[in-house]
Amino acid sequence: MKSKTSAILITGAMLSAAVLPVQADPMLDLLKVLRDKGAISAQDYNTIANAAKAKEEKTLAEKEEIVSMVQEADKKASIVTLSEKGLNFQSVDKAFTANIGGRIHTDYVNIDDEFFDRNSGADEFGNAAKFRRARIGMEGTMFTDWSYALEINYGQDESTEFTDATIGYTGFDNVKLKLGRHKMPSGLEELTSSNRISMMERTAATNTFAKGRRNGFTAETKGSNWTLTGGVYLGEGVSKEDNEGKDTDYGYGGRFTFAPLHEKTQLVHLGVSYQREEFEKTFDGNELATNNGRLRARPGVHFFNDRPVQVRYRNTEYTDTIGLEAATVMGPLSLQGEYFRQDLSREDAKDADVDGWYAQATYTLTGESRGYRGGKMRTISPKNRLGMGGYGAWELVARYDTLDLFDSSAANELTDSIRGTEIKTLTLGVNWYVNDTIRFMANFVDAEIDSDDVSNMEGDVKAFMVRGQVAF
Q: What are the DSSP calls for 334-403, one per residue?
A: EEEEEEEEEEEEESSS--EEEEEEEEEEEEETT----EEETTEEE----SS-BTTTB--EEEEEEEEEEE
Q: Is the pLDDT of residue 284 over 90?
A: no
Query: Which position has the higher pLDDT, 365 or 56?
Result: 365
Q: What average pLDDT does range 392-411 have in this prediction?
A: 94
* pLDDT tier at 181, thresholds 50, 70, 90: very high
pLDDT in tens, 362-378: 999 999 999 999 999 99
Of 93-97, 119-123, 280-284, the range with the lowest mean pLDDT is 280-284
**Measured distance CA(345)–CA(351) in Å, rounded:** 5
Query: Tell me, what's the pLDDT at 453?
Result: 66
pLDDT in tens, 57-75: 778 887 888 877 777 766 6
Q: What average pLDDT does range 138-166 have in this prediction?
A: 89
* pLDDT tier at 2, thresholds 50, 70, 90: very low
**358 close to 399: Cβ distance less than 8 angstroms:** yes
Sign of CA dihedral 292, 296, 302, 306: negative
* pLDDT tier at 19, thresholds 50, 70, 90: very low
Q: What average pLDDT does range 165-178 have in this prediction?
A: 96
Query: Tell me, what's the pLDDT at 93?
Result: 86
Query: Tell me, what's the pLDDT at 157?
Result: 61
Element (H, E) at 25: helix 24-36
Chain-wide mean pLDDT for the chain? 86
Whether pTM exceeds 0.75 = yes
* pLDDT tier at 289, thresholds 50, 70, 90: low
Q: How many CA atoms lie within 13 A of 69 on its CB side?
A: 6
SS3 of residue 167 by DSSP: strand
CA-to-CA separations, 188 to 86, 290, 459, in angstroms, rounded: 26, 30, 30
Q: What average pLDDT does range 393-402 have in this prediction?
A: 98
Q: Is the pLDDT of residue 283 over 50?
A: no
Query: Tell me, what's the pLDDT at 9?
Result: 47
Of 48-52, 186-190, 318-322, the range with the lowest mean pLDDT is 48-52
Query: Tell me, what's the pLDDT at 243?
Result: 43
Q: What average pLDDT does range 432-437 have in this prediction?
A: 97
Q: What are the DSSP calls for 282-350, one per residue?
A: PTTSSSB-TTTTEEEE-SS-TT-SS-SEEEEETTEEEEEEEEEEEEEEETTEEEEEEEEEEEEEESSS-
Query: Which position has the higher pLDDT, 113 or 447?
Result: 447
Residue 40 has phi, psi (to 5 degrees) of -130, 155
